[in-house]
Structure 1
Amino acid sequence: MGESKEKLLEKIETLKNENKTLKEEKSESTKKLRSLESKELKQNINNRQLEGKIRELKGEINSFKKTPLILATITEVFDDNRVGIRGHVGHDFVVTYPGSIDKEKVVAGARVSLNQETLTVVEVLPSKKEADIMAMEIEEKPDIDYDDIGGLENAIVEVKETVELPIKKPELFKEIGIDPPKGILLYGPPGTGKTLLAKAVANQTDSTFIKLVASEFVNKFLGEGARYVRQVFELAKEKAPAIIFIDEIDAIGAKRTHESQGADREVQRTLMQLLSELDGFESRGNVGIIAATNRPDILDDALIRPGRFDRAIEVPLPDEEGRTKILEIHTKKMKIDKKIDFDSISELTEGFSGADLKAICTEAGMFAIRADRKKIISKDFMDAIDKIIESAKMQ
């Protein structure tokens, strides 16, 4: 009877060990499953981004096929819906404008767009100053610091050397006898922190931050794109020290082809004006130039040769340690449970960008609010990841 009891106890112990092993295997399998699901989510996100880019490019192609409009200035106003105008080439014309245009806007000095074939006034445009303000995002001194950026230590070091140092200590380069890079190119996937890097540099150098999306240069009015470029550099010199940040530089900086239509030639004129401004730009001055793109492979060689955007800095997706740092940054002001393990969350978010991780933190906060809790717990983050994965699968 004693032996049977001992054997029974041994069987119970064996079953306990087997159960423990099964639980460990299940836990490991769950982690692998979450990792695979996060990778699938990232792939779906990338696919949607590519599809959106394709739609955007198709829209741009369709807009390029439209007849360009001519920019002119009203010199005199006559009766019967007629005005005298002067174009960029210097010729004066008397043209008509439709009754749908507000007559109060039709005044001498106003800018108008003309039909290229009939020279009829199509619309009255905003003043040059208003147009420039609409096209630019200007901050006197951004509140972003290097400490607000996680997972980009190498990129931060390079940006400090190539942009911050020439503005803060130009005498160092003069003493050594070299010129710092005129412009730097930040490249990497969307949401990795390229704009944050540029803003952090502006903050550290007490510079005015001037941000433009390159597609704003591609204006439907002939000659406007090149004018925008000149205005940007003039404004930067007026507000120096300043950082010019040109996002999506590939919109005007793509490789040129021999076969081009009217709209393509306008884009190329804008690019040539940008190259001209870069060539005449003093790199030891107190203005820094930063461009960003997701597609460095399609940029024109003339744009990235030495003397222009001659330093390329990669802004990659964060690694596991970087993801942990980003999660800690975005939860710094959030009320969270001290038991939350960001390392485990980081393992489950492989392939996520900084923007993706910020979205997860926000979603976790929403789950806590929905549960009427005063702080965020680990389950909220797990639910946030699951929700994003599920929503991605449904799209």
Structure 2
Amino acid sequence: MKFNWKRTTIAYIIMLIASIVIFAILIPGNQNKPTEIPQNTLVSLSQEHLIKTIVIDGDRINITTTGNYPKQGDPSGEFFTYKETLTSIYEIPGFDPTGIEITPKGPSSFDWGSLLGTLIPMLLIGGMIIFLFSQARGANNQAMSFGRSRAKLFNVDKPTTCFDNVAGVDEAKQEVQEIVEFLKSREKFQALGARIPKGVLLIGYPGTGKTLLARAIAGEAGVPFFSISGSEFVEMFVGVGASRVRDLFDQAKRNAPCIIFIDEIDAVGRQRGAGLGGSHDEREQTLNQILVEMDGFEANTTIIVIAATNRPDVLDPALLRPGRFDRRVVLDMPDLHGRLAILNIHAKGKPLSPDVNLETLAKQTIGFSGADLSNLMNEAAILAAREDKKAIEMCDLEESIDRVIAGPERKSRKVSPHEREITAYHEAGHALVARMLPNADPVHKITIVARGMAGGYTKQLPAEDRYIATDSQFKAKLAISMGGRIAEEIMFNEMSTGASQDFKEATNLAKKMVTSYGMSEKLGPRTFGSKEEMVFLGKEIHEQRDYGEKTADLIDQEVEALIQNAYTSARTILTDNKARLVHIATQLMAEETLEGDELEKLFTEALPAAAPTAPVEPPLAKNDSPSEKKAEPVLQPRDKPMEPGTASPAIAPA
């Protein structure tokens, strides 16, 4: 419970005002307090017939005077009191009772006003103390309830998410929909002897919709749904996590049939026997309690546990066995139809311009997860609102794609004309090599506008979704990575730092081709190097060599050969098409961004008369015969590198 200072302050002010009002009403002020007089004054007042009434209250005599009392201005109704233990008022020497109304009240009279004046303040003080303690307990709820579960119980009467809000994971929806149907109509499955899965593990990359699918299950099931994160079980005190697990399943048993959803279960379900320290012992105790509750001596057939993780490789084998998590549901990246369905869901409620084509947008977002697509639509809406548009246009959506991939444009970045020219030739080199290679992905956009850490970039989009890659596609990627540096060398006869990220990616890809994918003729179809991961410590990966020094030299030679062949191939393309490279770079410096038909025209149109060069031929179609293929240019040896000590301008990596 969160402590609300505003509400507490208002409550204190109200209690203070109420206390002041009650004290003012019940406790008489100083002006009504009787004046105590001695016995001789009492006798004198009686002899002078200035006493109107006398009320005897135990050992106290309360006197009311007449209006003829000379010591006060108009003492009519003035109160006095005389206190002395008396057997009878008439025994006072010299007292004259003539004309005085004497009322004996007796010792049994009870002063209710004094009682209320004392009791009510005590009640107010006690209530204030209780209120303060209740607020303190609410503000420090963790300290008051260590072993209680923090799972949230969702209202089954008002579902906010259902299966209609989930798209792109049709197979996963079907798997979990059977669980919902079982909870609603058990007889259909029990008639065939089917047993409901005790646990369902949702596995997928971040952003693929695991938590969203769990919320949809809660909205569709119509049964109590408890949701908790794996990290909420573990505390610094040993035994707290296991106690929370027991309390969670006790609540679930009281609300059975129900569903328990544990998000990011890898926080508590990692393999046992790894790591050091007290937190390790606490995590193991918590995991042991989860194992017992899911499939222990007492089976809970009406409680279904659904867990989500993007690290199934670090989970304990005892947690993954049948009987605990009987079913594993994999949520992969959405394909073209899935992306289109996701875009339609997130486009609801947003005014779209008539030029918006979500199918075209889905084709441009290969590799995007559901979370990326949701962010894309939101960024497009923000961009449209920033420019005071009434509807979201296609240009806003395409701009949001670049923002999601590379970040926002840095138009305020000051770049010198020379660095701008280097960047233009660098990106034109990437694009021209990609256009010439038949196994490369089509070039969709070139820009020299800085985004994020990049001074410019060349965006390629595959024509279709791919789930496997070939060695020819990898070799094309290596050549494209070399295209930027080679274009700089050809035009400026010097090298810059702009290709550092290109070389890093090319080296990693060439190494994977040799050591992981078996794409080396000398080393053959095998893998090299074993990776061991400390599952308790997170993503620390230790690579161990399972090969000798001679094999290591061969791996280096094969990686070097792949990169040098890619370098030579890219250099031959750019050297033979230097005029085309200059034509593209010049137009890029003028326009800053080239895409679509305008970009395709630069690849195919005739060059100016000053530099006649044949247009770049598009890649061969898959059904073209080898005899129709254009002869590739003869590969030339790499030119002599620049002399040491030559200055190289630094630009942001592409």
3-state secondary structure, aligned to 1:176: coil
CA 1:165–1:282 in structure 2 vs 1: closer, same or farther (change >3 Å)? farther
State the 1:283 CA deviation: 5.5
Letter in 1 for 2:176: V
Please list every run of 5 or more consecutive structure 2 residues that lacks an aligned counterpart in the other structure. Answer: 1-128, 409-450, 454-654
| 1:202 equivalenced with 2:218 (yes/no) | yes
| 1:173 equivalenced with 2:231 (yes/no) | no
3-state secondary structure, aligned to 1:339: coil
State the 1:339 CA deviation: 3.0
| 1:274 equivalenced with 2:290 (yes/no) | yes
Structure-2 separation of matches of 1:235 and 1:364: 44
Structure-1 separation of matches of 2:358 and 2:216: 25
Q: How does 1:336-375 map to 2 (within 5 A)?
A: 336-375=352-391
| 1:137 equivalenced with 2:152 (yes/no) | yes
Q: What residue is the counterpart of 1:159 in the other structure? A: 176
Q: What residue is the counterpart of 1:307 in the other structure? A: 323
Contact 1:184/1:290 (8 A) holds in 2: yes
State the 1:343 CA deviation: 1.5
| 1:329 equivalenced with 2:345 (yes/no) | yes
CA 1:259–1:369 in structure 2 vs 1: closer, same or farther (change >3 Å)? closer
Contact 1:180/1:283 (8 A) holds in 2: no
Contact 1:361/1:381 (8 A) holds in 2: yes
Structure-2 separation of matches of 1:218 and 1:276: 17
3-state secondary structure, aligned to 1:292: strand
Q: What residue is the counterpart of 1:9 in the other structure? A: none
* Range with bigger deviation, 176-185 or 148-157: 176-185
Structure-2 separation of matches of 1:182 and 1:372: 53
Q: What residue is the counterpart of 2:202 in the other structure? A: 186
User: How many matched pairs?
Assistant: 276
State the 1:106 CA deviation: 12
Contact 2:146/2:240 (8 A) holds in 1: no
Structure-1 separation of matches of 2:405 and 2:218: 36
3-state secondary structure, aligned to 1:291: strand
3-state secondary structure, aligned to 1:243: strand
3-state secondary structure, aligned to 1:212: strand
State the 1:170 CA deviation: 2.0
Question: After the TM superposition, which parts of structure 1 deviate over 6 Å for at least 4 consecutive aligned residues?
Answer: 103-107
Q: What residue is the counterpart of 1:61 in the other structure? A: none
Contact 2:148/2:243 (8 A) holds in 1: no
Structure-2 separation of matches of 1:157 and 1:241: 21
3-state secondary structure, aligned to 1:375: coil
State the 1:236 CA deviation: 2.1
Contact 2:269/2:316 (8 A) holds in 1: yes
Higher helix share: 1
The CA deviation string for residues 68-99 of structure 1, in whole angstroms up to 9 with x for no partner, is: xxxxxxxxxxxxxxxxxxxxxxxxxxxxxxxx
Contact 1:181/1:311 (8 A) holds in 2: yes
Q: What residue is the counterpart of 1:147 in the other structure? A: 164
Q: How does 1:1-395 map to 2 (within 5 A)?
A: 125-128=142-145, 132=149, 135-141=150-156, 142-161=159-178, 163-257=179-273, 260-280=276-296, 282=299, 284-285=301-302, 287-391=303-407, 394=452
Structure-1 separation of matches of 2:229 and 2:375: 23
Q: What residue is the counterpart of 2:15 in the other structure? A: none
Structure-2 separation of matches of 1:174 and 1:283: 16
CA 1:131–1:177 in structure 2 vs 1: closer, same or farther (change >3 Å)? closer
3-state secondary structure, aligned to 2:242: helix
Q: What residue is the counterpart of 1:3 in the other structure? A: none
The CA RMSD measured in Å over matched residues stands at 2.7
Structure-2 separation of matches of 1:366 and 1:136: 35
State the 1:282 CA deviation: 4.5
Structure-1 separation of matches of 2:289 and 2:326: 17
State the 1:130 CA deviation: 9.9
Structure-1 separation of matches of 2:195 and 2:141: 45
Contact 1:106/1:124 (8 A) holds in 2: no
Q: Please tell me whether Structure 1 or Structure 2 has the larger radius of gyration of its CA atoms.
A: 2
Structure-2 separation of matches of 1:145 and 1:130: 33
State the 1:241 CA deviation: 4.0
3-state secondary structure, aligned to 1:184: strand
The CA deviation string for residues 216-255 of structure 1, in whole angstroms up to 9 with x for no partner, is: 1111111110011112112223334432110111111111
3-state secondary structure, aligned to 1:253: coil
CA 1:153–1:237 in structure 2 vs 1: closer, same or farther (change >3 Å)? same
Contact 1:339/1:378 (8 A) holds in 2: yes
Letter in 1 for 2:184: K
The CA deviation string for residues 312-362 of structure 1, in whole angstroms up to 9 with x for no partner, is: 010111111111110110011111123311121112211111111101101
- TM-score w.r.t. the length of structure 1 is 0.64
State the 1:368 CA deviation: 1.2
Letter in 1 for 2:337: E
Contact 1:230/1:277 (8 A) holds in 2: yes
The CA deviation string for residues 149-204 of structure 1, in whole angstroms up to 9 with x for no partner, is: 1101110011112x213211222333222322100000001111111111212211
Structure-1 separation of matches of 2:401 and 2:379: 8
CA 1:193–1:258 in structure 2 vs 1: closer, same or farther (change >3 Å)? closer
Structure-1 separation of matches of 2:273 and 2:293: 22
Q: What residue is the counterpart of 1:89 in the other structure? A: none
Contact 2:372/2:404 (8 A) holds in 1: no
Structure-1 separation of matches of 2:189 and 2:300: 10
Letter in 2 for 1:329: I
CA 1:130–1:371 in structure 2 vs 1: closer, same or farther (change >3 Å)? farther
CA 1:234–1:377 in structure 2 vs 1: closer, same or farther (change >3 Å)? same
Please list every run of 5 or more consecutive structure 1 residues that lacks an aligned counterpart in the other structure. Answer: 1-102, 112-122
CA 1:130–1:339 in structure 2 vs 1: closer, same or farther (change >3 Å)? farther
Q: What residue is the counterpart of 1:31 in the other structure? A: none
CA 1:124–1:194 in structure 2 vs 1: closer, same or farther (change >3 Å)? closer
CA 1:147–1:124 in structure 2 vs 1: closer, same or farther (change >3 Å)? closer
CA 1:190–1:259 in structure 2 vs 1: closer, same or farther (change >3 Å)? closer
CA 1:125–1:164 in structure 2 vs 1: closer, same or farther (change >3 Å)? closer
Structure-1 separation of matches of 2:274 and 2:404: 45
The CA deviation string for residues 9-40 of structure 1, in whole angstroms up to 9 with x for no partner, is: xxxxxxxxxxxxxxxxxxxxxxxxxxxxxxxx
Structure-1 separation of matches of 2:276 and 2:193: 42
The CA deviation string for residues 360-388 of structure 1, in whole angstroms up to 9 with x for no partner, is: 10111011111211111111101111222
State the 1:259 CA deviation: 6.2
